[in-house]
Each structure stands twice: as structure tokens, then as C-alpha cells.
Chains A and B, each alone.
Chain A
């Protein structure tokens, strides 16, 4: 018996609430496993890195984005294509450094933090730090070493959520990226 095609019942699109709540369960588990927020932040970043390394293959296959020729073009692709595809939002790009090697992504809303309130004993927790790891892992696979970090967070009372992106260097082709 031949296997039935499943086309028509599968979609890459899903509503974000299940993802948001599952992510919340992950953060809760890490807060139990590690004694301090810094370790949770580190582990979220590491997990995000591993996710980004795999997600980039899917992204390049689906988005028809060619090679970016500079960091400005990369910023546009991240904000207008990748965030839209994977999180259903389009952050704005601001605060370019004069050298063009740093910019900020401004998220007016962050679906990861729907339903979330940060308890007082986790003031150092960077709740959505997985996203920084995802960005770093994905860009490393296209030969860009970057730093990504949250500099504003609505969960901490800021008006917006801001991820600061800094280009460090282009990675030589003969050094394959690996898992952390």
C-alpha cells in the first residue's frame, strides 16, 4: 500500500500561543535547574544557538533570500523576513553605528512574553534570551560572527524590547561552525 500524501492538511503556520506557553515551560524548568539567573540566561542562549544553526537551513530554503552583501542588508532580512516568518512580527531597525557594524532591533511587542510577568526574584533573568542565541547561531552559519543582546525589555518596565546587534567579523570558510 502506497503511503498517502498528506498535502492539504499540513501548514507551516500556527498560532503563537502554544509556542509562547511551551517556551514559558522551558524557562520555568531552567529556573528550577539552575540556581541563578545568569546561568539560565547562558543556557537559553546556548539552546537558541543550537536552534539557530538548524533554523537557518529552513529559512534559506524557504525565503529565496540570496547572499547579503553587507550588514545593512542582513539587518533588513532579519527584521522584515525572518522575524515575520518565525514570530509573526516585524521589528524596526534603528541606532546604526557610524561604522555600520551595529544596529538595534526594536520590538513593539514580543510574542514570547504574552501571558508572562517576571517575578521579583528573577530580576536578572533575560526571559527571551533564546532569541539572541538563535540570531547568533543562524548568522554564524552564513559566516558572520555577531553579538546579540537585549538592551531593553518590556518585561522589566522598558517601553520597548530592544536587541542590539553587533558585527564582530566574517568567519573564514574553512572553520565550520559546530554545536556549543
Chain B
């Protein structure tokens, strides 16, 4: 019997709560696996990177985004299209410097932490939503943009907002990129 052809996935709208609770189960599992907060953070980022490299294909197929001409244009697409599509929220955007390669996404609510009020006991250095940093970094790298992505503020740590800092590094060299394929 031949294996049935893999159907093209249908696009589904889902309620965010199941995702948020499932994400909580993932973080809880990693906290069991690793003693140190920085290891959990590292692993969430690594998982997110892997997710981002695949998610960006879906995003480009569905969003009709064409080539971007500036970093601020890319940031606007991340904030207004991608976050809306995949997390149901639209962060606001700020730019930090005159060379316009350092930006922040400001989230007034932490989209992945809706069901938790504070970090688990003994986990003060945990970056609960660090998956998001990896996702953004992985997705950008697939379109030849190297970036550092980190949480600068986190409501779970007592800050007023949750802030994701994105610093664009230099463009990934095309030849290097091609060689990796």
C-alpha cells in the first residue's frame, strides 16, 4: 500500500488559550529537565529558533509580503502582521538609535503568560517567553537577516511592560548562505 500523499495543511484559526496552556506544559517540562534557569532559557531559544525557521515559510506563503527595503519596515511587518497572525496581538514598535538597526517590540500583555501571575518559585532568572526570541531570530535568518533578539523587560519580573529588543546585525552574506544549503 502506498503512503497517502501528505495533504497541504489547511489553515485553522484556533483559540489562543490551548496554545498558552500547552506552552506552559513545555516550560514546566524543561524546568524539570534542567536545574539552571539559563539552561532552560537557552533551550527555549533553541527550540524557538527551529520553530522560526519553519514558521517563516508559512508566513511568507500566506502574508503576501514582498521584499523589504529597511529594517523598520521589517519590524513593522513582524509587529503588525506576524504577531497578529500567530499570537493575536499587535505590539507597538520603538526605535532606539540613529542608525536605525535597534528596535523594541512593546507588549502590554505577555501573550504566552496569560495564565500565570509570577515566575515559579526559585526561577527568578527564567525568561518564560524565551521561545519568542528564538522564533524571531530563526525566521529572520531564513530571510538572510542576522539579529540579536532578547527580552529587555518582562512583566513577570515586575516590569510594567514586556519588551523584546531586536538588533539587526549585518546582512547574512549570500555566498556563505548558499554554501550552507
Q: Let me know if B14 and A111 touch, CB within 8 A.
A: yes
Q: Which of A19, A21, A58, A109 is in CB contact (< 8 Å) with B14? A: A19
Please tell me if A139 contacts chain B, counting CB pairs below 8 Å: no
Cβ-neighbour of B21 out of A24, A55, A111 (below 8 A): A55
User: Within 8 Å of chain B (Cβ to Cβ): is A15?
Assistant: yes
> Is B146 engaged at the interface, CB distance under 8 Å to the other chain?
no
| Residue pair B30, A29 in contact (C-beta under 8 Å) | yes
B91 to A: closest C-beta gap in Å: 8
> B58 at the A/B interface (Cβ < 8 Å)?
yes
Kindly state whether residue B23 has any CB partner on chain A within 8 Å: yes
Q: Does A96 contact B (CB under 8 A)?
A: no
Q: Is B159 an interface residue (CB 8 A)?
A: no
A65 within 8 A of B: no
Interface residues of A in 39-70 (CB under 8 A from B): 47, 50-51, 54-55, 58
Mask: chain B, 6-31; 1 = CB below 8 Å from A; 0 = not = 11011111111111011111100110
Total of A-B residue pairs, C-beta within 8 Å: 129
Q: Known: A13-B16, A17-B86, A86-B14. Contact between A114 and B108, CB under 8 A? A: no
Per the CB 8 Å criterion, the residue count for chain A at the interface is: 42
Is there a chain B Cβ closer than 8 Å to A12's Cβ? Answer: yes
Do the beta carbons of A15 and B109 come within 8 Å of each other?
A: no
B15 close to A86 (CB less than 8 A): yes
**Shortest distance in angstroms between B28's beta carbon and chain A's nearest beta carbon?**
8
Contacts of B21 in A (CB 8 A): 51, 54-55
Q: Which of A10, A22, A30, A154 contacts B88 (CB 8 A)?
A: A10
Could you say which residues of chain B place their CB within 8 Å of the CB of A47? 22, 25, 29
Q: Please tell me if the beta carbons of B13 and A17 are within 8 angstroms of each other in the complex.
A: no
Given A4-B108, A13-B88, CB of A29 within 8 Å of CB of B26 = yes
Q: Which residues of A contact B47 (CB under 8 A)?
A: 25, 29
Contact A21 B19 (CB under 8 A): no
Q: Least Cβ distance of A14 to chain B in Å?
A: 4
A85 touches B15 (CB 8 A): yes
Q: Is B88 touching A111 in the complex (CB atoms < 8 A)?
A: no
A51 touches B109 (CB 8 A): no
- Assembly CA distance A9 to B11 (angstroms): 22
Q: Is A177 an interface residue (CB 8 A)?
A: no
Q: Which residues of A contact B90 (CB under 8 A)?
A: 9
Neighbouring B residues of A51 by C-beta, 8 Å: 18, 21-22, 24-25
Which single member of B23, B29, B58, B89 contacts A22 (CB below 8 Å)? B23
A and B contact pairs by CB, cutoff 8 A, 16 listed: A10-B88, A13-B88, A14-B87, A15-B14, A17-B9, A18-B19, A18-B55, A19-B18, A21-B51, A29-B29, A29-B33, A30-B29, A51-B22, A87-B12, A157-B1, A157-B4
